[in-house]
Amino acid sequence: MHFTCFTTGSEHVRWIDLISRLCRLEAGKMLGLRCAAGDLCGGGRLHRGLHHMQKVFVSSQSRPVSLFAPLPAAPRPRPPLQTQGCFFSRGQGSSGSSAKLKLRTRLLVTVLFGGGLMATWWFVHLEKQQKLRQQRVEQLQKVALGQGNFSLLDHRGKHRTKQDFLGSWVLLYFGFTHCPDICPDELEKLSAVVSTLDQDTSLPQIQPLFITVDPERDDVPALAQYVKDFHPRIIGLTGTSEEVTNAGRDYRVYARAGPKDEDGDYIVDHTTLIYLISPDGLFLDYYNRAKTQEQITENVRKHIKTYVRL
């Protein structure tokens, strides 16, 4: 006795889906699934095949699974986040590299441009200095003043020449110790100028010098006593009549002794100028009695600031 099991088309499709699901979930149980599928092919053995398949499936799981549960929805594909991240990262890196390259290029152009400006300025500066030197040499050649040398004794008895004062700014005055008023006044003015300029630490020290035009009376002791009343750095110079005359001639100094009185005293008529000597030992400027202390100070300061050594 036998019976035939009839299934509709939809049920048959459902069973096929279940079989496919079991095949995917239990790839390791392929042999059992194939046997169950063979039982399904026989119409009367459908329930036995399903029963056998359920036993196989349940025995391999830790918890029972319903054969008639709805199939899970297929997972949606995720966007390739990591790939996109890498793409954006590569784009940002490329942009950063381009920005760095542009910055380096700008810096290089700035440095080259600045270097060119500095080189141009330095060239113009050197050319200007050369012109100033040439102009000063031409002026000194025309004047021919203070270009000689001297060899004298200072107020301490030390031998001095013009070379001893090279490299220093010098304010020089010719006079004599028995001068009643003009020489002391001019030496006080000279000392005040030097003291004022000493207060400006940006300026070099100025050396004050006093050369006598009366060597007969102004010996070393007389000079030592006389210069005490003026600037502490002042140096008095004397020598023989010939040495003193030669020193004055280089600066076109006029000096002539007047007649002696009953006591043998006399006045020396002489040039009353203060001379400014540059560090290269050449005459630079002069100041007569009409120049005030302030005027001389500012003029000397200007010469020092604009001085270009030969």
Q: Is 35 annotated as a binding residue?
A: no
Give residues with Cβ within 8 angstroms of 81, minimum separation 6.
Answer: none
Structure tokens at 151: 């060899």
Structure tokens at 144: 């021919």
The beta-carbon contacts of 232-235 under 8 Å, at least 24 apart in sequence, are 233/194, 233/205, 233/207, 233/208, 234/187, 234/191, 234/208, 234/209, 234/210, 235/154, 235/155, 235/160, 235/207, 235/208, 235/209, 235/210
Number of Cβ within a 10 Å radius of residue 191: 20
Q: Is 23 annotated as a binding residue?
A: no
Is 7 in a helix, a strand, or coil? coil
β 274-277/206-212 pair status: unpaired
Q: Is 270 annotated as a binding residue?
A: yes
Q: Where are the alpha helices (H) located in the chain, listed in sequence order?
A: 9-25, 30-41, 46-59, 81-143, 182-198, 220-226, 241-250, 293-305
Residue numbers in the known binding site are: 179, 183, 270
Q: Which residues are annotated as a binding site for Cu cation?
A: 179, 183, 270
